[in-house]
Structure 1
Amino acid sequence: MAQEVTGHCLCGAVHYRVADNLGIFQYCHCSRCRRFTGSAHAANLFVLRDNFFWVAGEENMREYSPPDTKYFRTAFCAVCGSSLPWLSKNGKVMVVPAGTLDEHPGVEPSQNVFCGSRATWYKAAADLPEYDTLPPKT
């Protein structure tokens, strides 16, 4: 069954729709994803190009395509700088940053990839204390 979901950037200038996904949802720890997201890893959902649609604001999307990569490129909103879905260099798959989704995509993360490039300071979220709001002052 198809799982349709929507997403957008932080400022709302760019909106997209995903008609279905490939069932691949993973955390990527490669140095490129870490630098692009500014985080320990990227959380990426993979979607066939034909199942991805820009709804509004596509003109606000910008891309960066490193010349030395086989598949990787990035996309972001020119207004707010948020990560946006990007088309892989082979033109077949959209890589959707899961943090830009409006709802649950119908699939959950199933693997960590490029762990050999994991940040040396990385600590798994499950190993850290959790708070519903800011932690109490100590």
Structure 2
Amino acid sequence: MSETTLNGSCLCGAVKFQVRGEPQRFYHCHCQRCRKASGTGHASNLFLSNATLNFSQGETLLKRYKVPEAQRFARQFCSECGCAVARFVPELAAVLIPAGTLDDDAPIQPQARIFWDSRADWSCAGDDLPRYATYPA
């Protein structure tokens, strides 16, 4: 996949970011942590490899929370509005972008629903995306 540049921002507009990299994965995650972090039935996350993440505005407003017992679950967000924003994931050597924060169109479409077996029974399911109990192989 070729390199792309994506711009995004938080809900209040105080934090603005730019990611350059190769789009690899776009998943709807139904795990309990993603549901709690998003307040919805799933989180939609885009992953870019060989990526750089730069904040052009509001970097001092960023806060980060990592679930202590989680291997890689963390959340980076604007301290003004609470909106999740892009973050570097060292364990994956990738940048994760909460897809809803993009100001540009996503370069790829969602590819799968992950942690499907732990979804809320009311969560959306009306598409033909592959479904995985955990991470795809």
Offset of residue 49 of structure 1: 6.5
Find the structure with the greater CA-based Rg.
1
Higher helix share: 1
1:7 maps to which residue?
A: 8
TM-score (norm 2): 0.84
After superposing on structure 2, the runs of 4+ consecutive aligned residues of structure 1 that deviate more than 4 Å are none
Point out the more displaced range, 47-56 or 71-80: 47-56
Number of residue pairs the alignment of both structures matches: 126
Residue 109 of structure 2 is matched in structure 1 by 108
> Equivalent residues in 2 for 1:1-138 (5 A)?
1-48=2-49, 50-88=51-89, 90=91, 92-125=93-126
The two structures have a TM-score, normalised by structure 1, of 0.83
1:72–1:89 Cα contact (<8 Å) kept: no
- Tell me which protein shows more strand as a share of its residues: 2
- The 3 A distance-change label for structure 1 pair 114 and 24 is same
CA RMSD for the aligned pairs?
Answer: 1.7
State the Cα distance separating 1:122 from its structure 2 match.
1.6
Gap regions ≥5 residues in structure 2: 128-137
What are the superposed Cα offsets for residues 60-111 of structure 1, whole Å, 9 maximum, x if unpaired? Answer: 1100011101111011110111111223252722211000000112111110
What are the ranges of 5 or more consecutive residues in structure 1 without an aligned counterpart? 127-138
- Percent of pairs identical after alignment? 34
